[in-house]
Structure 1
Amino acid sequence: MKKIPYFLVMCFVCTLMSCSEDGDNNDGDTNNPMQPAARTAIADAAFEQALVELDIDDVVDGSVLTSDAEMVTSLVINDKGITSLLGISDFTMLENLWVNDNQISSVDLSQNTLLKFIFVENNALTSINVSDLNILEKLAVTNNTLTQLDISDNSALQVLQIADNTLGAIDLSAIPNGIQLNTFAVENNPLTCIKVNEEILNDIPSQWTKDANDTYALSCN
């Protein structure tokens, strides 16, 4: 009987081992668990409970599926005892937001660039960030404690209701004209000067409301 050369035997063994390893690797790929779905942290239980009531979330556990948050175009969550909207930035398709009659003290909406309507009246707002909201049409923050408000990026505004705050100044010069901004209410603020552009100054809309001592000017000190 002829002897099989040693190197041929080793080649055969190596081939078998290689096939076995490939099989193991393939099995491993098949059995890899799916990556968990991304979730958005919702710090305020009252906010999340409101999402549950709207069938956006299913249980109050501190987070919501990011994919579900990204599908929401309108949120009406008035009078829900909400103190924080942390997590709202992931609601990237949001166009309308109503959160009146809550206890929200601060909110950053600068990532929600599709917003057209924002109503945060009767809260405890000390700050609101509406930068980069280029298509925002209505902003209502009446009856809060805002000391400043930057609307320089909100040139599409048609309604601006900021009465009953603690604003020391407001600059409307980014608004093209008074015809577009058909509603403006600023009474009961400690400011005395409202900055506008020349086109607005020459034709102040009669329906705008302010305190009697407030004046419109191209420059406010």
Structure 2
Amino acid sequence: MKNLMHLKLTIYALLFVVLTTCSDDDPVYYQLTTQVTPDQAGTIAPASGMFYEGTEIELKATPNAEYVFKNWTGDASGDDNPLKIIILEDKNITAVFEKVNYALTIDIIGEGTVNQELVLAKSSSTDYESGATVELTAVPDDQWKFVEWSGDHTGSENPIQLTMDKAMSITAKFEKVSYALTIETVGNGTVNEEIIQAKSTTDYDSGTTVQLTAIPDAGWMFVGWSGDHTATQNPIQITMDQAMSITAKFEINMSIPISIWVFGSGSVEKEWVGDPALGNSDIRLTAYAKEGSYFVYLHGIFDNALGDFLTTKNPIVFDLNDALMFQNADHLFLYAIFKEGVADKTYIPDDHFEQALIDLGYDDQLDDYVSTQVISRIEELDVSNLNIQDLSGIEDFLSLQMLTCNQNKLKNINLSNNHHLYKLFLQDNELSDLDLSALNSILFLDIRNNPLTCVQLNETLLEQIENPGLAIWMRDEDVEFSLDCGY
């Protein structure tokens, strides 16, 4: 029994020795804790865990897309990657990552700047974090314009927005503003431009100085500039700071000046017939009525008092070398008359008057209208004793020299356009007033048996009355002639 007890004690002692010897040789474990910042920016291998004391570990930081490894913090430092460490104690190590930065390089062609939303506007390089949105606005200098982007972004929209997912180089192109210069001519001639060959329309950069020279054709002369530049000097210089339209006006260079005044809605154009460079001296005058009007006549007066003429021809051709017409004349004044209404028609409201014109062969239908061109050529008209009450339309009888309208029922008459009238018979009517002040050559007049008290004249006619040998005028005794009858 004692031996068994002794055996048990021996076994326990051996176990104690064995146990005591084994605890001195067992390895020691330490905790390694790893993490990343910012979250989801990357990974670390190996991950957190327990490691034997003295274990050498290689830590590798792997960034996710759009991030880069920056450095280690915590129980490690520096930016070595991978990083070797020896486990001698618990360690807490963090891998620091940051967003990739991409360079944005802005270049300029021309004159202007590019504003960037996140930084001060500049044209040098700027770095932006990956994924950043940058707005670029092209701002041209004065008299320049933005044209387009090129490089890593192309297009003409402005502004633009970029997402920085790589380094980018972008160029903003500016160009000088160009303005159109439109050259027109009135008459025969050309306009030379100093910078390029003459043409109707061309574009010039803003600030360009252009010299315009008007060159008249043979037989023509330069008169002046109009439109966006008015002047008479030639040549002229203009600075292109806006779109411009300029007209060079040329007129026929005649040995005898012709001045034209237009009354009514229309115009008169002069042109050579043939080539004046070959000695041709014929001038064609053409009247152009505007819509709603028609040409009536052309009245010419010479400055040398040789006389005048009236014509309804259109166009009309003059020979400036015609000695009979232009002898000793220094100037010809023309008056072009246009009237509103139906072209080439004159309104005749009195049916008796129109019927008389039909009977005389000047009209063919009783419709209150007659041909203006036809009646304007009539020189003598007799419409006596036809019960006519209204002689409206007589003003278009432009060539009328003799008018006989006795024994009718006229209360008034308008003779203001009948400048060639020299014989006027209005006996036995109902005229209470009569104005002859527009006439200059009444040699024969009979106005007896009308309820007249005063006839209005001009100074020329009044002189004829005072010299009875020059004219035969018949009137009632109580009728006076005056420069002012109060009409």
The two structures share one fold, judged by TM-score above 0.5:
yes
Cα-Cα RMSD = 2.4
Gaps of 5+ in 2: 1-293, 295-341, 483-487
How far the C-alpha of 1:102 sits from its partner, in A, is 0.3
Is residue 132–residue 154 contact of structure 1 (8 Å, CA) maintained in 2? no
Q: Taking structure 1 as reference, are residues 113 and 187 closer, same or farther at Cα in structure 2, changes over 3 Å only?
A: closer
Q: Does 1:178 align with 2:468?
A: yes
Match of 1:21 in 2: none
| Equivalent residue runs for 1:47-126 within 5 Å | 47-126=353-432
Cα distance between partner residues in 2 of 1:128 and 1:86 = 14
Q: Identity across aligned pairs (percent)?
A: 31
- The one of the two structures with greater contact order (alpha-carbon pairs below 8 A, sep at least 6) is 1
Work out whether residues 40 and 90 of structure 1, in 8 Å CA contact, stay in contact via their aligned partners in 2: yes
Larger radius of gyration: 2
**Residues 1:141 and 2:451 are matched in the alignment:** no
Larger fraction in strand = 2
SS at the partner of 2:469?
Answer: coil
Question: Structure 2 matches for 1:202-221, cutoff 5 A?
Answer: none
Look up the match of 1:152.
458
- Alignment gaps of 5+ in structure 1: 1-34, 156-171, 196-221
Contact 1:152–1:174 (CA under 8 A) maintained in structure 2: no
Q: Tell me how far 1:149 sits from its aligned partner.
A: 0.6
Partner of 2:478: 189
Q: TM-score, with normalisation over the residues of structure 2?
A: 0.27
CA distance in 1, matches of 2:381, 2:479: 32
The CA distance in 2 between the partners of 1:66 and 1:190, in whole Å, is 34
For the residue of structure 1 that corresponds to 2:456, the secondary structure is coil
Give the residue type in structure 2 aligned to 1:189: D
Report the CA distance between 1:175 and its aligned residue: 3.8
Greater share of residues in helix: 1
Find the counterpart in structure 1 of residue 45 from structure 2.
none
Q: 8 Å contact 1:133–1:153 — kept in the other structure?
A: no
1:118 maps to amino acid: L
* Superposed CA offset, 1:161-197 (max 9, x none): xxxxxxxxxxx5564523324x455554277xx89xx
> Does the CA-based 8 Å contact 2:444-2:473 persist in structure 1?
no
Counterpart code for 2:469: I
Residues 126, 176 of structure 1: alpha-carbon distance in 2 compared, 3 angstrom cutoff: closer
Q: What's the TM-score once normalised by structure 1's chain length?
A: 0.58
Number of residue equivalences: 142
CA distance in 1, matches of 2:479, 2:404: 26
Query: How many Å separate the matches in 1 of 2:477 and 2:426?
Result: 17
Q: Is the 8 A contact 1:70 1:90 kept in 2?
A: yes
Aligned partner of 1:79: which letter? N
What is the DSSP-based 3-state SS (H/G/I as helix, E as strand, rest coil) of the residue aligned with 1:149?
Answer: strand
